[in-house]
Chains A and B, each alone.
Chain A
Amino acid sequence: AQSVAQPEDQVNVAEGNPLTVKCTYSVSGNPYLFWYVQYPNRGLQFLLKYITGDNLVKGSYGFEAEFNKSQTSFHLKKPSALVSDSALYFCAVRDMGNTPLVFGKGTRLSVIA
């Protein structure tokens, strides 16, 4: 069965600094990996996905993620954080076929001005 781990409950970063939100995964086959962001009182918004190909995936709002097969990681990154990036971030994984989307526990990102 697939699983996702987000080891940090909270990440704090100063505005303008680079940010990283960590995610590791476990699947039996090739993974389909996703990052979602949730702002207060909103649903989940899709940021980016890894299917196959380039290990650096670019997504919405200047976010990108680096896929590392040997470390089974898919860390979310942004070169320069904004206060408006403060939100709850979820990593998610699906295996091939008709399998459910499995979410990590979430990481709260706080960007301080």
Chain B
Amino acid sequence: DTEVTQTPKHLVMGMTNKKSLKCEQHMGHRAMYWYKQKAKKPPELMFVYSYEKLSINESVPSRFSPECPNSSLLNLHLHALQPEDSALYLCASSPRTGDSNQPQHFGDGTRLSIL
């Protein structure tokens, strides 16, 4: 069982839809991350939150909008996505962004398909 929970596990949406991905952790971690992973490729960092504030945005298109409502929750709001956005979206957490010696803990991801 993973300690980072992501919902939904699967999501199919049209290009005009609005949907949200959710991530939750109860390990007391203050750093949370969104990654995008294409098949058989490594995860690509999208966003980093540190103490509920956005600290890194890796030039992600504005159709992806992250939100961190509290220290346990991380959302990714989706709007007007493109077919190339179909991927596995992974959430991760770690104690603090500056603790380089600590591993990140990953959820099982949301598999997103854009029609």
Please report A residues at the B interface, Cβ cutoff 8 Å: 32, 34, 36, 41-46, 49, 51, 88, 90, 94-101, 103-106, 108
Contacts and interface: CB of A to CB of B under 8 A. Distances in A.
Given A43-B2, A43-B109, A98-B98, A104 B104 contact: no
B89 to A, nearest CB: 10
Interface of B: 2, 4, 6, 40-43, 45, 48, 55-56, 90, 92, 97-98, 100-101, 103-109, 111
Given A43-B108, A100-B48, A51 B101 contact: yes
Contacts of B105: 46
Contacts of A51: 101
B58 to A, nearest CB: 8
Nearest to A39: B108
Contacts of A101: 45, 104
A36 B51 CA distance: 25
Contacts of A90: 42
Contacts of A43: 2, 4, 6, 90, 92, 106-109
A32 B106 contact: no
B110 to A, nearest CB: 10
A45 B48 CA distance: 19
A98 B100 CA distance: 7
Contacts of A95: 100
A46 B101 CA distance: 13
A13 B42 CA distance: 22
8 contacts: A34-B103, A42-B108, A43-B4, A43-B108, A45-B106, A46-B106, A100-B56, A108-B40
Contacts of B106: 36, 43-46
Q: Which 3 A-B pairs have the closest CB atoms?
A: A103-B42, A43-B106, A44-B106
